[in-house]
Structure 1
Amino acid sequence: MSRFRKLSHTIWHCQYHIVWVPKYRHRILTGRVAEEVGWCIRAFAEQQKGEVVELNVQFDHVHWLVWVPPKVSLSDFVGTVKGRTAIRVFNKFRELKRRLYWGHRFWARGYCVDTVGLDEAKIRAYVQYQERRERRAEQQGLDV
């Protein structure tokens, strides 16, 4: 399988490592709550045409590696997944909402994101290769 994905007019490799935490970093992502969070993240990411590669729900944070198409805004993507997951978890586990410290928020504001790109050395070599290939093609065209 190629590391690139395809759309009708685009070949892309937009892979991100995303991390976020529950409000006040409370250690509540355990048992059934953790299972529901994992299921929700996968379902809501898929609805937005994202593809979860890896997902790890820890006691007090979530790590995931996800492909996001370039036509989708990353901040909208994460905001939708976080928001819909929070609604779903609060509806399913009503006892969580009764805790005074939540203030109708399940997740802390913001998130951490890092791009998972191609190796810089490989890109430089590829660009150099393309330049050499183009020169050879020009020389062969002139010789004909």
Structure 2
Amino acid sequence: IRARELIRQGCEARGIIILQGSVGKDHIHLLLSCPPSLAPSKILQYLKGRSSRLLQDEFPELKKRYWGQHLWARGYFCATVGTVTEEIIRNYIANQFNEERNDIFKIEE
């Protein structure tokens, strides 16, 4: 999946580490470790904007389909570890898309 690679590249460029993630047909789950100087809203704005622009440049049919519209939905959900444990977040991500599992972010440790 090209979106996965673009998100990985964008995270790497900003010093963001993807601890875990999964890709579905219509949404993506990420567990990130990022510098405290980066606001979650700015991280999502950057990743969604960059990936949308590059995907539409690479796949002209997307540009036609989403002309004048957003490729990604405007909203997102964000929670910090502490409100819930990292283990709970990891389990949530791991159990997404069990029926129709498209792809998982493979993180090499």
TM over 0.5: yes
* Residues 1-144 of structure 1 aligned to structure 2 (within 5 Å): 35-99=1-65, 102-117=67-82
Question: Structure 1 residues 71, 92: CA separation in 2 closer, same or farther (over 3 Å shift)?
Answer: same
Higher strand share: 1
TM-score calculated relative to the size of structure 2: 0.70
RMSD: 1.9
Identity of aligned residues (%): 35
Is the 8 Å Cα contact of residues 48 and 72 (structure 2) preserved in structure 1?
A: yes
| Alpha-carbon distance between aligned partners in 1 of 2:83 and 2:72, rounded to the nearest angstrom | 31
How many residue pairs are counted as aligned between the two chains?
85
Question: Structure 1 residues 90, 119: CA separation in 2 closer, same or farther (over 3 Å shift)?
Answer: closer
TM-score calculated relative to the size of structure 1: 0.54
| Alpha-carbon distance between aligned partners in 2 of 1:97 and 1:119, rounded to the nearest angstrom | 38
Per-residue CA deviation, residues 40-62 of structure 1 (Å, 9 max, x unaligned), is 11110111111001121100111
1:82 deviates by 0.6
Unmatched segments (≥5 aa) in structure 2:
86-109
The amino acid across from 1:95 in the alignment is: E
| Alpha-carbon distance between aligned partners in 1 of 2:28 and 2:83, rounded to the nearest angstrom | 24
- Of structures 1 and 2, the one with the larger relative CO (CA 8 A, separation 6+) is 2
SS in 1 for 2:37: coil
Is the 8 Å Cα contact of residues 15 and 35 (structure 2) preserved in structure 1?
A: yes
Larger radius of gyration: 1
**4+ long deviations beyond 4 Å:** none
Per-residue CA deviation, residues 96-127 of structure 1 (Å, 9 max, x unaligned), is 1212x55242111121111122879xxxxxxx
Unmatched segments (≥5 aa) in structure 1:
1-34, 121-144
| Alpha-carbon distance between aligned partners in 2 of 1:84 and 1:73, rounded to the nearest angstrom | 16
| Alpha-carbon distance between aligned partners in 2 of 1:81 and 1:105, rounded to the nearest angstrom | 13
